């Protein structure tokens, strides 16, 4: 399994780490029991994301996808932000190992949750269409068919 | 603190070939290249070299006869062959097998296969100390138990298992005993007769020998169904043109391990303790994973709470330090180590395990360097976590 | 004629590692020793090297994708895995398998195992020319035939089999096709797509690569039940820490074979013809064993009537010449080669077979030397025989 | 599989090769179909073997055991000669590989057959007690349990 240079860059120098104190919306997805968890806070200005910060506990891919998604989202409309797909996140990072594709769901779900939280706080309908993490059939362990299992000796 | 520094703390994953081992092997690639099964000169030379390697391995582990040594392609093959080859030979129609729950996948894999084929398999849990207790084995043994397999030292925790007692219990119940000694042989005293085992697994690349070479020890008289068939090499127990150079590499590597074993035990235990104490005193919420005192000299396995293993590993890599983490299976960092779970470690802690394993070329300075670079990495990752303070911070107390 | 001369005519048994192959492998014993499954730098280097070797092998045999290449411990393991792994995956409850009767024991062994487990196995006979004919395969194919395995070139006779036609016939009947190409790959053109095969076996030590390394080609989509289980390496098809240096050795060795393949085909065919003609003209009652013209450039297989193979071999060895004989299985010189018997050679002749196989370092002078020392040996053994004159002498005519 | 130096010496320099033209007894055992065959001829003097020669078609061990048995038999009484065991032959050669032990039966059987032939020609009872090769259950392929199968590549 190999991470792209771009993944490693975002992992080693994650952008927008932290919490926005007076955030307009906050999303929190994942679970420490599963090994990864993300919290994302956004400022919204005229239905566009004007600022975004994240905190993530997780593997290299979880941190890198969190970081890139904050860069991608900044300046987007809410509609655009919730439409970011896991494939777009992976592409933006020059690809992810098949076994790590699920990590991009953490990031896109986190962003969706933050947007819905903002809308909810403002008495508006959610627009994310639901989170993968809320689906009872969602299996964060599900991996792409091409996955190669690496092992400790 | 130089960024060019390379500190290898993953000797339990694999080791470099010792130059003396490579020297011993080298002639067998070129001049002494014969097929050990050929009758003419260059074949006889190969045969003699192979049989010499076999005798030396037998002597090194206290085997009664050279023919109890079967050369294989590695620890994984030896494990598979032991579990399936012995069980099927003794109980072709089904029976009961006991393996510990924290065996390497090279044991668990074939155990699952036997289960699929109608055998009963018990996955015996070690206790929280990281040890399989004899009383627990005794309760698990049944009249139809064919084989018990418990590893000599666990490859993650480093805990040493009471193989002699376990073997005695297995034998008392009429079962045979196999032990996977891939992590222990060479590191600590290992004698098949003193342990009273019927079969054992060894892997060359864990002891400064070449990759792709292993040994299956099969006590004379143990029934066995070969898992790779063909020309009938290795006393009809493992077919395939033998890797003569590899066999010599393994024999040489093992002898070198034994040469200074007691000094190395003392030296590595010292390094390990320095490492463990250093981490615990530098970082809150860290501890040695398994509480048993009887552990390999060269493996430190720790829980670094509130941090995910892979991210720790990659950050260390950026500093030139190679370690492993029980949760680093790329089938997802979401899958915590079955070893930690087997001793009752909660999942959220199991994700943050760190294995540092030391060896022949590890120095005090390596440990010092690690203790310099590691705490800032953990602190940074914990600071980046949305839950660290909540779960482990002083406010959580 | 010097007694110190060493003439190696057993390249089909094994080859020395080419110095260029050894050079390519060497760094992976020491500096680049990482475990290819580890995430840190030295592990990634090993991983990259392994995957590079995989791609190069894939390219060398015309495979569609690198992941169709599975590194194993040798030809024997690849053969076993192909026969059992494919058959059991496709027909877990039984079915029909066809293997040719003159396959290597690494195929016949697992075929017998399948038979024991209730599968039907047909041992398809080649004809007297040393070739498996398509019509014969067609008559043997059944609706429930799962797998056909016919070797690309026979390791004793050197005869090349019409694999493309055999594969087409197998496919027309819904069966898969495996070929054991241990003797042919590198020696003659070999392309998995042109041959239309689903699986193939290769062995490194036959092509100037290291011993203990092989490849199983498995076309994408072919169902397979892994025969060695554990950590899930090799795309879950063959567990065990990979022998990275070995994989690189194999890839390099294969590429070197391809580099001058057509020149070597011409050169070795010339040597083989000189050898065969030289023996026939020097000694009465000698002939090429298999009549087919389409034979490997580098294997001469002859019947030396009225002489027993091992004694011939040992006398040649005393002159520094290494050859093999189909009857040299030490389970008794009484057991003639199953290959010769399969093409209808009478037992009393089969005992006197001689295989001389040539390679990269064989020269004209080697052949000349052989033709000098061989006839007196045969004449002496024939003179020592109680039956030579009776059976083959002019009085017997 | 390895031959001792003594086996190789007797194989490379077999003693007493040939046929005694005016032999008193001749034994012929084995079969070219099986790959080995031995013919032994003896001169008998006062119920002792005064001369002995052999011809053998067979492997290294077949030739070496033939050669050594002629050396052992020369000067022996007929009783002593038929009592030579396959183990004695092997010991005299500093051992034989397990897979080759059957070869010594060829040599001892050949000698027995020659003695019985002599006795028979002289109207006397055979004393060999029968040949292994005459036993319908004799399996020349039968090998010692320790045998290792070597193989061609
Ligand atoms: C305890 C144990 N058993 C078996 C193995 C597998 O051995 P190999 O890597 O030689 O296949 C390993 C290491 O990978 C191990 O640590
Ligand atoms: C045709 C053929 N198949 C399989 C094998 C076995 O390969 P290995 O020696 O690598 O186990 C050989 C040679 O021994 C062979 O010639």
**pLDDT tens per residue, range D103-125:** 889 999 999 999 999 999 999 99
**In the predicted structure, residue B213 carries a pLDDT above the cut 70:** yes
**B334/A34 touch (CB, cutoff 8 Å), yes or no:** yes
Tens-digit pLDDT profile for residues B271-282: 999 999 999 999
State the DSSP H helix or E strand holding residue C180, giving kind and residue range, or none if neither.
strand C176-180
**In the predicted structure, residue B269 carries a pLDDT above the cut 60:** yes
Ligand 2: residue whose CA is nearest its atom 13 = D153
Tens-digit pLDDT profile for residues C224-260: 999 999 999 999 999 999 999 999 999 999 999 999 9
- Best mutation target, A7, A35, A143, to test chain B (most B CBs within 10 A): A35
Of the candidates C306, C311, C330, the beta carbon closest to that of D97 is on C330
d(CA D95, CA D97): 7
Residue B92, in any domain of the structure: yes
**Same domain as C317, residue C255:** no
Q: Which residues, including other chains, have CB under 8 Å from residue B167's CB and lie 6 or more apart? A: B148, B177, B179, B195, B196, B197, B198
CATH of the domain at B282: 3.90.1150.10
Per-residue pLDDT, averaged over C368-376, amounts to 98
pLDDT band at residue A101 under the 50/70/90 scheme:
confident
Residue B167, in any domain of the structure: yes
**B35/C29 touch (CB, cutoff 8 Å), yes or no:** no
Ligand 1: residue whose CA is nearest its atom 14 = A153
Share of chain C above pLDDT 70, in %: 96
Residue C76, in any domain of the structure: yes
Q: How close, in Å, is residue A37 to chain C by CA atoms? A: 22
How remote is the CA of residue B30 from the centroid of ligand 2, in Å? Answer: 19
Structural domain count of chain C: 2
**In the predicted structure, residue C202 carries a pLDDT above the cut 60:** yes
pLDDT band at residue D2 under the 50/70/90 scheme:
confident
State the DSSP H helix or E strand holding residue B50, giving kind and residue range, or none if neither.
helix B41-61
Per-residue confidence (pLDDT) for residue D141, from 0 to 100: 57
**Same domain as C198, residue C174:** yes
**B229/C106 touch (CB, cutoff 8 Å), yes or no:** yes
Residue B208: C-alpha distances to residues B187, B278, D54 (Å) = 11, 28, 56
- Best mutation target, D61, D146, D150, to test chain B (most B CBs within 10 A): D150
What is the overall mean pLDDT for chain C?
A: 95
d(CA A18, CA B250): 52
d(CA B227, CA B81): 6
Q: Which residues, including other chains, have CB under 8 Å from residue D130's CB and lie 6 or more apart? A: none
Of the candidates A32, A97, A149, the beta carbon closest to that of B387 is on A32
pLDDT band at residue D101 under the 50/70/90 scheme:
confident
How remote is the CA of residue C222 from the centroid of ligand 1, in Å? Answer: 28
Residue with tokens 């060019």: B4
Per-residue confidence (pLDDT) for residue D145, from 0 to 100: 43
**D60/C310 touch (CB, cutoff 8 Å), yes or no:** yes
Minimum mean pLDDT range among A64-73, A122-131, B18-27, C193-202: A122-131
**Same domain as C172, residue C59:** yes
DSSP letter string, B125-166: PP-TTS---HHHHHHH--TTEEEEE--SB-TTT-BBP-HHHH
What is the overall mean pLDDT for chain B?
A: 95
What are the phi and psi torsion angles at C273 (to 5°)?
A: -70, -40
Residue C352: C-alpha distances to residues A153, B43, C101 (Å) = 50, 20, 20
Q: Inform me whether the C-beta atom of residue D145 falls under 8 Å from chain B C-beta atoms.
A: no
- Token readout for C103 is 């396959």
pLDDT band at residue C394 under the 50/70/90 scheme:
low
Residue C38: C-alpha distances to residues B8, B350, C362, C390 (Å) = 12, 18, 43, 70
Per-residue pLDDT, averaged over C350-358, amounts to 95
d(CA D92, CA C52): 58
Q: How close, in Å, is residue C61 to chain B by CA atoms? A: 23
Residue C264, classed as helix, strand or coil, is helix
Q: Is C255 in the pocket of ligand 2 (CB under 6 A)?
A: no
**In the predicted structure, residue D23 carries a pLDDT above the cut 70:** yes
pLDDT band at residue A102 under the 50/70/90 scheme:
confident
**Same domain as B155, residue B60:** yes
Residue D137: C-alpha distances to residues B90, B237, D140 (Å) = 30, 29, 10
Residue B2, in any domain of the structure: no
Residue with tokens 């390791």: C155
Q: Which one has a higher pLDDT value, B49 or B396? A: B49
**In the predicted structure, residue D152 carries a pLDDT above the cut 50:** no
Tens-digit pLDDT profile for residues C93-131: 999 999 999 999 999 999 999 999 999 999 999 999 999
Of the candidates C35, C47, C236, the beta carbon closest to that of A2 is on C47
**In the predicted structure, residue D148 carries a pLDDT above the cut 50:** no
Q: How far apart are the first and last CA of chain B?
A: 35
Per-residue confidence (pLDDT) for residue D125, from 0 to 100: 95
Domain that holds residue C283: 7-15+261-392
Helices (H), chain C: 19-25, 41-61, 75-80, 87-90, 105-116, 134-140, 163-172, 192-195, 233-236, 244-259, 261-282, 309-318, 338-342, 347-350, 364-384, 388-392
Ligand 1: residue whose CA is nearest its atom 7 = B75
Q: Are strands B199-203 and B176-180 parallel, antiparallel or unpaired?
A: parallel
Per-residue pLDDT, averaged over C179-194, amounts to 98
Q: Inform me whether the C-beta atom of residue A33 falls under 8 Å from chain C C-beta atoms.
A: no
- pTM, full prediction: 0.94
Tens-digit pLDDT profile for residues B342-370: 999 998 899 999 999 999 999 999 999 99
Contacts of A96 in chain B (CB under 8 A): none
D48: β partners: D45, D77
Tens-digit pLDDT profile for residues C128-168: 999 999 999 999 999 999 999 999 999 999 999 999 999 99
- Ligand 2 pocket test: pick from C206, C210, C216, C338 the residue with the most ligand atoms within 8 Å of its Cβ: C206
Q: Which of C201, C229, C259 is where one domain is finished?
A: C259
Residue B397, in any domain of the structure: no
**Same domain as C280, residue C237:** no
Q: Is C76 in the pocket of ligand 2 (CB under 6 A)?
A: yes
**A33/B348 touch (CB, cutoff 8 Å), yes or no:** yes
> Which of B:211-240 have CB within 8 Å of D?
230-233, 235-236
Instruction: Give the closest ligand to the alpha carbon of residue C104.
Output: 2
Residue B293: C-alpha distances to residues B273, B282, B300 (Å) = 11, 22, 12
ipTM: 0.93
Contacts of D98 in chain B (CB under 8 A): none
Q: How close, in Å, is residue C189 to chain B by CA atoms? A: 24
Residue C45, in any domain of the structure: yes
**Same domain as B182, residue B33:** yes
Instruction: Give the closest ligand to the alpha carbon of residue C74.
Output: 2
Per-residue pLDDT, averaged over B207-220, amounts to 98
Q: Which one is catalytic: D40, D103, D105, D114?
A: D103
- Best mutation target, C33, C35, C37, C226, to test chain A (most A CBs within 10 A): C37
Ligand 2: residue whose CA is nearest its atom 5 = C75
Q: Inform me whether the C-beta atom of residue B363 falls under 8 Å from chain D C-beta atoms.
A: no
pLDDT band at residue D140 under the 50/70/90 scheme:
low
Contacts of A148 in chain C (CB under 8 A): 232, 235-236
Q: How close, in Å, is residue C57 to chain A by CA atoms? A: 19
d(CA A114, CA A108): 10
Is the CATH number of domain A5-150 3.90.1010.10? yes
Which chain D residue lies closest to C314 (C-alpha atoms)? D60
Per-residue confidence (pLDDT) for residue C365, from 0 to 100: 98
Of the candidates B14, B308, B318, the beta carbon closest to that of A36 is on B308
pLDDT band at residue A99 under the 50/70/90 scheme:
confident
**Same domain as B181, residue B147:** yes
Per-residue confidence (pLDDT) for residue A1, from 0 to 100: 62
d(CA B173, CA A149): 38
**Same domain as B268, residue B348:** yes
Contacts of D1 in chain B (CB under 8 A): 39, 47
Q: Which residues, including other chains, have CB under 8 Å from residue D147's CB and lie 6 or more apart? A: C330, C331, D97, D98, D99
Per-residue confidence (pLDDT) for residue A2, from 0 to 100: 79
Residue B4, classed as helix, strand or coil, is coil
CATH of the domain at B43: 3.40.640.10
- Token readout for D11 is 């194989």
Sequence ranges of the domains in chain A: 5-150
Q: Which one is catalytic: C32, C164, C228, C329?
A: C329
């Amino acid at each position: 399994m190999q991470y792209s240079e771009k993944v490693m860059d975002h992992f080693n120098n994650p952008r927008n780490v932290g919490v926005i104190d007076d955030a307009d919306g906050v999303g929190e997805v994942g679970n420490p029991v599963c090994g990864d968890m993300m919290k994302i806070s956004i400022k919204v200005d005229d239905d566009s994301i004007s600022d975004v910060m994240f905190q993530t506990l997780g593997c290299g891919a979880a941190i890198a996808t969190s970081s890139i998604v904050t860069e991608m989202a900044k300046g987007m409309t809410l509609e655009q932000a919730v439409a970011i797909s896991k494939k777009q996140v992976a592409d933006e990072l020059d690809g992810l190992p098949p076994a790590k594709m699920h990590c991009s769901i953490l990031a896109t779900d986190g962003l969706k949750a933050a947007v819905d939280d903002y809308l909810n706080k403002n008495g508006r309908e959610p627009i994310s269409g639901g989170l993968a993490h809320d689906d009872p059939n969602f299996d964060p362990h599900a991996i792409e068919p091409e996955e190669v299992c690496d092992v400790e000796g | 603190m130089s960024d060019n520094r390379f500190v290898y703390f993953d000797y339990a994953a694999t080791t470099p070939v010792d130059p003396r081992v490579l020297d011993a092997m080298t002639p067998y690639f070129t001049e002494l290249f014969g097929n050990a099964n050929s009758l003419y000169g260059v074949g006889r030379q190969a045969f003699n070299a192979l049989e010499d390697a076999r005798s030396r391995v037998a002597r090194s582990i206290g085997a009664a006869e050279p023919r109890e040594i079967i050369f294989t392609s590695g620890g994984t093959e030896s494990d598979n062959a032991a579990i399936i080859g012995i069980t099927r030979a003794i109980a072709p129609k089904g029976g009961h097998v006991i393996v510990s729950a924290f065996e390497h996948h090279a044991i668990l894999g074939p155990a699952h296969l036997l289960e699929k084929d109608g055998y009963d398999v018990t996955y015996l849990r070690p206790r929280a100390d990281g040890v399989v207790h004899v009383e627990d084995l005794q309760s698990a043994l049944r009249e139809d138990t064919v084989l018990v397999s418990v590893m000599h030292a666990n490859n993650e925790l480093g805990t040493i298992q009471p193989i002699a007692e376990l073997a005695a219990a297995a034998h008392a119940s009429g079962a045979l005993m196999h032990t996977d000694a891939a992590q222990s042989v060479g590191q600590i005293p290992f004698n098949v007769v003193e342990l009273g085992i019927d079969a054992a697994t060894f892997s060359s690349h864990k002891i400064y020998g070449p990759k792709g070479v292993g040994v299956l020890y099969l006590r004379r008289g143990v029934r066995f169904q070969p898992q790779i068939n063909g020309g009938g090499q290795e006393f009809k127990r493992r077919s395939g043109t033998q890797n003569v150079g590899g066999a010599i590499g393994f024999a040489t590597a093992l002898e070198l391990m034994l040469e200074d074993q007691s000094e190395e035990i003392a030296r590595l235990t010292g390094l390990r303790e320095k490492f463990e104490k250093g981490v615990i005193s530098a970082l809150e919420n860290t501890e040695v994973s398994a509480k048993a005192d009887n552990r390999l000299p060269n493996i430190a396995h720790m829980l670094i709470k509130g941090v995910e293993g892979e991210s720790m590993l990659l950050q260390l890599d950026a500093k030139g330090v190679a370690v492993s983490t029980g949760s680093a299976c790329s089938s997802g960092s979401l899958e915590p180590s079955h070893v930690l779970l087997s001793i009752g470690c909660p999942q959220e802690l199991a994700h943050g395990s760190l294995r540092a394993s030391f060896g022949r070329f590890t120095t005090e300075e390596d440990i010092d360097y690690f203790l310099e670079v590691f705490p800032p990495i953990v602190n940074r990752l914990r600071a980046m976590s949305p839950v660290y303070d909540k779960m482990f911070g002083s406010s959580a107390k």
